[in-house]
Amino acid sequence: MIANRSSGLFQEELGHVERAPDRSYSLAALGRRARAAESARLEIVCWATNRGFKSHRLREMGTEFSREAGVLYEAAMNAALEEAKLAIAHNDVPVGAVAVVAGRVVASAHNERERRGDPTAHAEMLVLKSLAERAAGWRMSSVSLIVTLEPCVMCAGAIVAARIERVVFGAQDPKGGACGSVYNVCSDPRLNHEVDVVPGVMEDRCGEILTRFFSEKR
């Protein structure tokens, strides 16, 4: 089963669905591998010196960012980065996303806009669609969505509509980001749902894969 029934509404909705072995796995294993290479830097840089994840921005957005959360987000972002790399094979911009419920990845996807010829086939949209189909429902209030690039207006709107609990993103999108850079759709008090936003997790690595992709296109 994907998650036990005590984990919240969305887990209950997914409780009857068998987990796909290639799309659902514990972050514990990822976390152990990530800690060896990345967590020392996370502890020293982010927490001792108050740099790295731009914690002042996180405080402004009202998100309490703990050490435990940092390790979890980093492990999940590593999984999203692996998804992003898959997009390159079909000439799509390398953006990856994973959905996490109770510490487990329950869905993942990468950008497939070129592959499908579909302007809506962003990584976030594909993850939300997969979750909705498996749960036979649209409310995802126990889900955290981790994505390598700041969601656009379309994706942010879908995230709000799905009642996602939290969005964690890596690289900022200064030309089209809708989680604080250009627009702030996920945290707009005029809407009927607000999403916790955690920006800048592994920002350099998430930005690097995009920079390299576009450089090779020139």
Active site positions, annotated: 124
Look at residue 136 and give its three-state secondary structure.
coil
CA distance 16 to 7: 14
Could you tell me where the beta strands, DSSP code E, fall in 12-103? 25-26, 96-101
**Closest of 50, 117, 126, 43 to residue 83, by C-alpha:** 126
Work out whether the CA dihedral 197, 9, 31, 213 comes out positive or negative: negative
Closest CA to 150 of 172, 128, 130, 124: 172
Neighbours of 150 (CB within 10 A): 28
Q: How far apart are CA 33 and CA 187, in angstroms?
A: 33
C-alpha Rg value of the chain to the nearest Å:
16
Q: What gap in Å lies between CA 179 and CA 156, rounded to an integer? A: 7
Helix (H, G, I), strand (E, B) or coil at 17: coil
Rounded distance between C-alpha atoms, residue 79 and residue 98, angstroms = 7
Q: Closest Cα to residue 101, out of 13, 210, 189?
A: 13
